[in-house]
Amino acid sequence: MTARLSIQNVSKTYAQADDVTHAVRNASLEVDAGELVAIVGPSGSGKSTLLAMAGALLVPTEGEVLIDGEPITGKSDSYLARVRLRQIGFILQASNLVPFLKASDQLEVMGYLAKADRKATRARAAELMDELGIGGRANRYPEEMSGGERQRVAIARALINDPAVILADEPTANLDSKRGRSVVEMLSRLVREGGKAGVMVTHDERMLDLVDRTYHIADGVLVQQ
Amino acid sequence: MFLSLREVRHSRLRTTLILAVIALVAWLVFLLSGLANGLATDNGATLTRMDANGLVFEKDTRLFLHRSILPMEMVDAVRAVDGVSDATPIGHLTVTITNEAGNERVDATVLGIDPDSFLAPEITRGESFADAPAGSVVVDEELSRHGFSVGDMFKVTPAGTEFTIVGFTSDEKYNHLPVIFMPVSSWQDLKFASLAESGGIADPISAVAFQGNGSALDAIAKSIDGVDVATRQQVIEALPGYSSEMSTVKTILAFLFLIASLVMTAFFYIITLQKTNLLGVLKALGATTRTLALDLVGQVVLLTLVGAAVGALLANLTAAMIPANVPFSLSNDVVFVYGIVLIVVAALGSLLSVLRIARIDPLIAIGRVE
């Protein structure tokens, strides 16, 4: 069985004049269906760079990223946008919801971008929000919701196009530990039940008992614990 | 438009402000073009309304009716040219008239015409002078504002010739002056006291108006010597003062469009800059530049459309309140065309924002990339 997300010997190097920075050095990581993997490391360690490469936002200097066995390196910008839209679900730091969209529209815009059937998208959005316990918040704008509710909307948004990979960038950053924990528990359950490959970048070590595997990254070198 | 519609609805204050700006600019554009058209109409309304394809003048008279003198035979000569379907004489004179009581003096343009020709004015009140006794005239409605009505007499100074108003017509102006229509013979008596004054022409007229097909104009110019032929529009543009009036107004209009486009371009560019992070997030989620750009241009077009519509409404309300002696004429065609120009200008301006959107790197959505 192929891993849903496969990062193979990936490096990212920034060259500025005589100064060469190795943001990520020869990192490899495989995530199977239903697995949630955590990457922890101090700031400046290269974890965001690695996440960006896994998420088709940044082209690796060397190595390859495969989603469901398909390489995404060396493709055009519009191809990568399509990969991000359909195969990757992002949960961004501080949820990063669109301020002028109601919760239900935050999800429906993904269907709109993917040119999916409007009705089906709407039904799936309602279903997801119910599942995540925010069904009653469908008509709220981000400013009218709590941090935990916003993060759940972000999780629902990541899931709505049924992606292969879920990438979470510090999903607990603005939450207290109780709410943060419930968000990660939810993420873990959804990844397991949905058969997704989940990767969570975090510096919050208290959440690590909820994930299947933990990697540490320091100075661009990725090591499994 | 998924995003635009919701953004417009959510950011009410911002939407209201930009709509207000666009509506005011559109209003100003419509008002100004209404005044410009009013001026143009006021100057050459008779020419604008004239059911003629062109006019034939004496050579080298700069298409001025008041300078041109042609013999009456020219009418038949013009009519005989291939492509010309009809031709009729026109006589011109600027006069001052005085009412019977002698207390009201008005400047006016006398046009001598054949009442059975295509130059006959539309009678709004009273009757035509066609079957009326000699000395009967039809005058523009403006004279009624000076106290003249059907049946009134007036004198043309200084000669003192008397005329009777038998009918009124509307929107007949020449050189900003109300037109008095009379038979060519009455006009000849007024203008030429002696044969010497008409340069020895026994039966003089000012010019010949003709109807015909597209080639008629060139055919007349080729086959008749000693004349200048011009289209109706060329004659209007040659009217004294016309081109300077129009160039002033057109310069102001051009600047209005320029300012409108700069204001809207700057507005939407700043909004786009302000949304950089959000647009980066949307791109990270999989939105293409194309989708986001179309959404923005759609929003610009929508707002300009609504703003221009409000401006058109305001302009029409204003037009209804403008006093009758201010020349103002705003047609739906003009509103439509200028509305479209505003939308196109705004859409072009939004391309600057589109460039900005294209340059946004979705990477900014991921926190602190090292």
pLDDT at A173: 81
What are the pLDDT digits (tens) for B342-356? 999 999 999 999 999
Q: Do B366 and A51 lie within an 8 Å CB cutoff?
A: yes
pLDDT of residue A140: 94
What is the percent of chain B with per-residue pLDDT over 90, rounded to a whole number? 69
Note whether B285 contacts A110, CB cutoff 8 Å. Answer: yes
Confidence at B165, pLDDT banded by 50, 70, 90: very high
**Mean pLDDT of all residues belonging to chain B:** 90
Q: Is B150 on the interface with A (CB under 8 A)?
A: no
pLDDT of residue A95: 67
B278 close contact with A: CB closer than 8 A:
yes
Distance CA A117, CA B202 (A): 85
Q: Residue A213 is encoded by which pair of tokens?
A: 């595997």
pLDDT over 50 (residue B370):
no
84-103 in A: which are within 8 Å (CB) of B? 84-86, 88, 90, 92-93, 96, 98-102
Task: Give pLDDT, residue A167.
Answer: 95
B369 touches chain A (CB under 8 A): yes
Is the pLDDT score of B365 beyond 80?
yes
Residue A75 scores a pLDDT above 90: no
Reduced to 3 states (helix: H, G, I; strand: E, B; else coil), residue A21 is strand
- From the list B7, B286, B368, the residue facing A85 with the nearest CB is B286
Q: How many Å lie between the alpha carbon of B362 and the closest alpha carbon of chain A? A: 7
> B362 to chain A: which residues are within 8 Å by CB?
57, 84
How distant is the Cα of B284 from the closest Cα of chain A, in angstroms? 7
Characterize A163-202 residue by residue with b for buried, 16 or more Cβ atoms within 10 angstroms of its Cβ, and e for exposed: bbbbbbbbbbbebeeebbbbbbebbbebbeebebbbbbbb
What residues in B contact A12, CB-CB < 8 Å? Answer: none
pLDDT tens, A35-53?
999 999 888 888 889 999 9
ipTM: 0.92
Cβ-Cβ contacts under 8 Å, B278 against chain A: 96, 98-99
Residues 10-39 of B with CB under 8 A from A: 10-11
Q: Which residues of B fall within a CB distance of 8 Å from A102?
A: 6
pLDDT at B290 over 70: yes
**pLDDT (tens digit per residue) in A127-139:** 999 988 898 999 9
Contacts of A54-57 spanning 24+ positions with Cβ under 8 A: A54/A5, A54/A7, A54/A29, A54/A165, A54/A167, A54/A199, A55/A84, A55/A88, A55/A90, A55/A165, A55/A167, A55/B284, A55/B366, A56/A80, A56/A83, A56/A84, A56/A88, A57/A84, A57/B284, A57/B362, A57/B363, A57/B365, A57/B366
Does the distance separating the beta carbons of B366 and A48 come in below 8 Å?
A: yes
* Predicted pLDDT at A92: 87
- B367: pLDDT confidence band, cut at 50, 70 and 90? low
Closest to B185 measured CA to CA, from B109, B138, B134:
B134
A79 touches chain B (CB under 8 A): no
Whole-model pTM? 0.78
Q: Poorest-confidence range of A170-179, B171-180, B200-209, B333-342?
A: A170-179
pLDDT of B369 over the 50 cut: no
Q: Do residues B85 and B211 touch, judged by C-beta distance below 8 A?
A: yes
Q: Are B288 and A114 inside 8 Å of each other by CB?
A: no
Residue A1's pLDDT band (cuts 50, 70, 90): low
Q: Are A87 and A114 in contact (CB under 8 A)?
A: no
Per residue in B251-289, pLDDT (tens digit) is 888 888 888 889 889 999 999 999 999 999 999 999 999
Over 80: is that where the pLDDT of B194 sits?
A: no
Edge to edge, the sheet with strand A165-169 lists: A88-91, A165-169, A197-202, A35-40, A213-218, A221-224
Angle at A38 between CA A133 and CA A48, to 5 degrees: 100
Question: Among partner residues B11, B290, B368, which is closest to A43 by beta-carbon distance?
Answer: B368
The Cβ-side half-sphere exposure at B312, using a 13 Å CA radius, reads 17
Please list every residue in chain B whose beta carbon sits closer than 8 Å to the beta carbon of residue A92. Answer: 281, 284, 365-367
Instruction: Name the minimum distance, in Å, from the CA of B281 to any CA of chain A.
Output: 7
pLDDT for residue B368 is more than 60: no
| B235 pLDDT above the threshold of 80 | yes
> Percent of chain A having pLDDT more than 70?
99
For residue A174, which of A198, A199, A149 has the smallest C-alpha distance? A149
If you search the block for the tokens 């939004």, which residue do you land on? B350
Angle between helices B289-321 and B332-359 (to 10 degrees): 150
pLDDT, one tens digit per residue, over A86-113 is 999 999 887 689 999 999 999 999 999 9
Any chain B CB within 8 A of the CB of A144? no
pLDDT at A164 exceeding the cut of 60: yes
Residue B276 with chain A: CB contacts under 8 Å:
none
Whether residue B78 has pLDDT greater than 70: yes
